[in-house]
Amino acid sequence: MWRRTAAIIKKEFLQTLREPRMRGVLLLPPIIQLIIFGYAVNLDVENSPIAWMDQDRTPESRELLAEFEGSPQFRVTHIPAGDEEIQELLDRSAVHAVVRVVPGFGRDIRRGQRTQVQILIDGTNSNSATLISSSASQVVARYAARIQGRHPPSGRMASGPGPVRQGPLLSAESRVWFNVDLKSQNYFVP
């Protein structure tokens, strides 16, 4: 049975290669797709518009802002005053993400206590949301590594007493809006 199937496959393959038009039909479309998808489709995150909500307004939060502004992936375009404005910016897709620096951010860093930066991400395009989340986390991790030497951990967490778990002084907490599971079907299928 398998020998017959293999013989038929071999015969069809040879027949396909004998016909010049068939070679063009088989080889040309994949080459064209490779060129189009290789150069025309760009999934990189560059100059992604973000909003910056600084509820702490300390030198440490301004340093983190400078880190985001210095990153080629992000461009701070809005400074929302409150949660309603954040909701509106994300609803209109005016920004792809909102970075929120919580009150006490600078104090916790100076004390060597762990703290977080909240990143709210527009999840309507799951691929972009994943890339933005990853890029924002990298920016926060880069800043955390830089300040780690200046402010070593104090031995307890910012939220209460107890030992500090091993890890960075600062972390990013990402929350995706509108497509929490980041399913691409929600983006492509109406």
Measured between alpha carbons, how far is 169 from 105 in angstroms, rounded to an integer?
11
Q: What is the pLDDT of residues 47-80, one digit of tens each?
A: 999 999 999 999 999 999 999 999 999 999 999 9
The SS3 call for residue 87 is helix
List CB contacts of 114: < 8 A, sequence separation 6 or more.
Answer: 108, 153, 157, 158, 164, 165, 167, 168, 169, 170, 171
CA distance 113 to 99: 20
Q: Which two tokens stand for residue 85?
A: 């404005």
For 93-130, how does the pLDDT look when each residue is reduced to its tens digit (9 = 90+)?
A: 999 999 999 999 999 998 888 898 999 999 888 888 88
Instruction: Confirm if 51 and 99 have CB atoms less than 8 A apart.
Output: yes
How far is CA 91 from each of CA 79, 87, 97, 102, rounded to the nearest angstrom?
16, 6, 11, 22
What mean pLDDT is predicted for residues 16-22?
83
pLDDT of residue 71: 93
- Which residue type, as a one-letter code, is found at position 96? H
CA distances from 186 to 44, 127, 162, 174, 181 (A): 20, 11, 42, 19, 9
Q: Give the per-residue pLDDT at 158.
A: 47
Q: Which residues, including other chains, have CB under 8 Å from residue 111's CB and lie 6 or more apart? A: 151, 154, 158
Lookup result for tokens 């020998």: 3
How many of the other CB atoms lie within 10 Å of CB of 28? 10
Residues 67 and 145: their CA atoms lie apart, in Å, by 12
The domains located in the chain, with CATH, are: 2-40 (no CATH), 48-188 (3.40.1710.10)
DSSP sequence for 169-181: SEEEEEEEES-TT
pTM of the full structure = 0.68
